[in-house]
Structure 1
Amino acid sequence: MDDFLAARLQMAFSLGFHIVFACIGMVMPFFMSLAHFYWLKTKNVVYRDVTKAWSKGVAIFFATGAVSGTVLSFELGLLWPRFMEHAGPIFGMPFSLEGTAFFIEAIALGFYLYGWNRINPWFHWATGVVVGISGLLSGILVVAANAWMNSPAGFDYIDGQYLNVDPIKAMFNDAWFSQALHMTVAAFVSTGFAVAGVHALMILRGRNVAFHSKAFKIAAVFGTIAACLQPISGDISAKDVAKRQPAKLAAMEAHFHTERNAPLIIGGIPDTAGKKVDYAVKIPGLLSFMATGDFNGEVKGLDSVPREDQPPIAVTHYAFQIMVGLGMAMVGLAIVYFIALWKKKKWLSSNWLLKLFVMATPMGFIALEAGWTVTEVGRQPWIIHGIMRTADAVTPMPGIAYSFYLFTAVYISLAVIVSLLLYRQITMVGKLYDSSTEVPKN
């Protein structure tokens, strides 16, 4: 394995793990705070126990997210020194602000975890809300930095020099809103469905049904509402990508030829040599409408992009199809759940609905990983779109392959440890309840 590939794989592997920890850390505090709010309003001890159980999960993911995020920040400097040399002074502001948000989150989490029965109950609840808001802001600020790589702004690039730096303009670049919106909604979708699926499984197994039913409903409502909003944010993102990064959109759709009334391609196997897509379903004009708002609008194909500037087509296309396919499956389940809430109350206690949520447990995170694959692989061969190539930014230091193997082992170990801790937290819930009466023990 050459060093360039090893550096890319290490960054991809690190980001792939961190994004899961980060998204759960961003969203779970809101679940926790809502359960806490219900406890304060109703004094139902089940909501208190749900809150405490979830707060321990928040603490676990805060710690793992902090560690994996710190590793990523070091990797940026160690693996991509030329990139950081030029980009650091330009897009450093969102990273510095993210650090501030992180400190606020850490302080608020400390108050929350150790504030039970020690501080005013509503102030205690408010610290949990602050944990969620500051975590969400941290995620948005990091996405703003990534958006800058897709839509560089806030400087003039003259004769190889980065001049007239404006960090505010760099942070609020043309891509930041669409990426931040899409990523935030995706975090709620993936976490909501994952948490709901775990609690649905516990209900099916007959374990602490009162506890898991309330937890399931909170997570399911968050996840299903977000799932229905995600196509809207996806449409905003698609139009933005079509304008700024037509090569990425072409790779996403395996759209080889520039044309009007361009069809939306569903599935299929890209044939890069023959410049076609085999076994695909094509909906005439829909890609033009999604990209331009006009069924007869022109969509640029890969034939308008020099071969050396084209992203990897197959990987980008398959990742995009996985993201959209799983996203639509979760929208379908969300619609079924809303029908159950409003019209078919009997469905809520049916095993088939719970089994559907169990099946959907990993869907959000698979779609999340696929979406980030589209974002990062679809930008290639650029690390700063249109300005600096990824190959020109990699470190000249040898032996990166060994670093990749080491970090892979570390992240796999971290994932195993986190999984075991979460499993322990879920199983410990049983100690709170009497299995026959479903009443919390004193």
Structure 2
Amino acid sequence: MELDPLLLSRIQFAFVVSFHALFPVFTIGLAAYIATLEGLLYRTDNPVYARLSRFWTRVFAVVFGMGVVSGIVMAFQFGSNWSEFSYRSANFLGPVLSYEVVTAFFLEATFLGVLLFGRDKVPRGVHLFAACMVALGTFISSFWILSANSWMQTPAGVEMRDGLLYVTSWTEAIFNASLWPRFFHMALASFLTAGFVVAGVSAWYLLRRRAPEMNRKALGMTVALLAVIAPAQLVVGDWHGLNTFENQPAKVAAMEGAWETKNGAPLLLFAIPDAAGETNHLEVGIPNLASLILTHELDGEVRGLKEWAPADRPPVGIVFWSFRVMVAIGVLMIVVAITGLIQRLRGRLFDSPRLLRVFTWMIPLPFAAVLAGWFVTDIGRQPYLIYGVLRTADGVTPSLTGGMALFSLVGFIAVYAVIFTAGLYYLLRLIQAGPESLEDTPDAADGRPKRPFSAVDTRLDEHAAPEGARG
């Protein structure tokens, strides 16, 4: 069997990007949470905030390191597997990706050192400033990365000359048509991811009667945040969808499983798309709802995939189902967040073992939603690398063989397996130790005696369990 270098390169890049995307989406939201804790500590002088901040900063450092390693390796593929794409798009993507390193990565890396090691060595205001700069750096980084990816979705400000793309307007290219909906959609996804991780871990500690005061405070804060951000994501997601409907209608047709152009198109809740037969099987839908959502009219027109040649259509099945996975998880997050807030206002959040368990079960779901969203975005862009400008098949390295692509794919899987295993192992060690293990470590807020982290006793703390939280 002959190995297809294009297919293997696509699988490799999808694997590496999917793996890498898990880390930034978590660290962006977590950095903002740490900055919030540092601000509360500066204002209230409450040592609980200091211990929470120190604990989550350690988690942030581990995940940040995993993201850096996976991100650096990921960039090698532009030259090894996608040299034609790199060559043709270098006039725009080269500077933009460089801006991300210069303006964001250096900022994060510099102030992360102050945040990690400077608590007792710099004034508290400087330490708070460092936390804010780390959080700002993560947002600047996401801006440049999303600008580059959004330009690939909705290219602007460039022209093709002799097979190369030349920038005619940096403003139009950077601030392309899909940048802001995608930036805010990803920002809220980052807050949701970090928020559900913090809430889930805090709930897990409460179920095990560990440091109830500290973890009640952490859970209460994040539940209030999630109850606002989860519904807001629905609004921003609608904005993003309308933008995609305007600029990438073929992608929306795949998302909706729409083959025929219709007025009053139904919203399909379930279907089995059949690309070969250009139809769906076992459709279950709500009449007119897709038209209402996309055009804000019950009889609005939604274009079907048959308006494009088969070679110009994205893969329907994976786009269709990835979109539904993302939306289903989003709806579940809204339900859980609002339920948590209601129980918090009623004073029952910390006394509900079932709800606490639900929060612990929610930990992996935001990551799954992010991956599903990326699948919709980038698989839905196919068969183009740069939408409407450069086909994926034209961007692969001409001299790349199937054997070479397979060798590098296996190598990436092996390296990333080591990175993920080692990082996950250390993260689990940190979480098992918990923030209460830092009660005897250095802290400018209380100045008490210390013991080294290596000597942390991971036994359950002796605090009394919250009433009703047994079992």
TM-score by length of 1: 0.94
1:237-257 Cα offsets, whole Å, 9 max, x none, are: 111111111110011111111
Which has the larger displacement, 155-164 or 176-185? 155-164
- Contact residue 270 and residue 283 of structure 2 kept, 8 A: yes
1:157-201 Cα offsets, whole Å, 9 max, x none, are: 357453453233211111111111111111111221122112211
State the distance in 1 between where 2:30 and 2:82 align: 32
Q: 1:418 aligned to 2:423?
A: yes
- Contact residue 101 and residue 135 of structure 1 kept, 8 A: yes
- Contact residue 253 and residue 317 of structure 1 kept, 8 A: yes
Query: Alignment partner for residue 431 of structure 1, among 416, 437, 440?
Result: 437
* Secondary structure of 2:284 counterpart: strand
Aligned residue number for residue 354 of structure 2: 352
In the TM superposition, what is the alpha-carbon distance from 1:279 to its structure 2 partner? 3.1
- Contact residue 90 and residue 154 of structure 1 kept, 8 A: no
* Secondary structure of 2:407 counterpart: helix
Q: 1:173 aligned to 2:179?
A: no
Mapping for residues 41-440 of structure 1, pairs under 5 Å: 41-99=43-101, 100-157=103-160, 160-163=163-166, 165-342=168-345, 344-395=346-397, 396-398=399-401, 399-429=404-434, 431-432=437-438, 435-437=461-463
Question: Which structure would you say has the larger RCO, counting Cα contacts within 8 Å and 6 or more residues apart?
Answer: 2
Whichever residue aligns with residue 429 of structure 2, its letter is R
1:18-45 Cα offsets, whole Å, 9 max, x none, are: 1111112211111112222222333332
In the TM superposition, what is the alpha-carbon distance from 1:426 to its structure 2 partner? 1.5
Whichever residue aligns with residue 435 of structure 1, its letter is D
* Secondary structure of 1:280 counterpart: strand
In the TM superposition, what is the alpha-carbon distance from 1:107 to its structure 2 partner? 1.2
1:42-86 Cα offsets, whole Å, 9 max, x none, are: 333222111111111111122121121112222122211111111
State the distance in 1 between where 2:411 and 2:161 align: 40
Q: Unaligned 5+ residue runs, structure 2?
A: 440-459, 465-471
1:266-325 Cα offsets, whole Å, 9 max, x none, are: 122113344333333312222112222222211111011110001111011111110011
1:411-433 Cα offsets, whole Å, 9 max, x none, are: 12111111111111112235346
State the distance in 2 between where 1:38 and 1:284 align: 49
* Secondary structure of 2:271 counterpart: strand
In the TM superposition, what is the alpha-carbon distance from 1:94 to its structure 2 partner? 2.7
* Secondary structure of 1:345 counterpart: coil
- Contact residue 55 and residue 438 of structure 2 kept, 8 A: no
TM-score by length of 2: 0.89
RMSD: 1.9
The alignment covers a number of residue pairs equal to 438
State the distance in 1 between where 2:97 and 2:368 align: 26
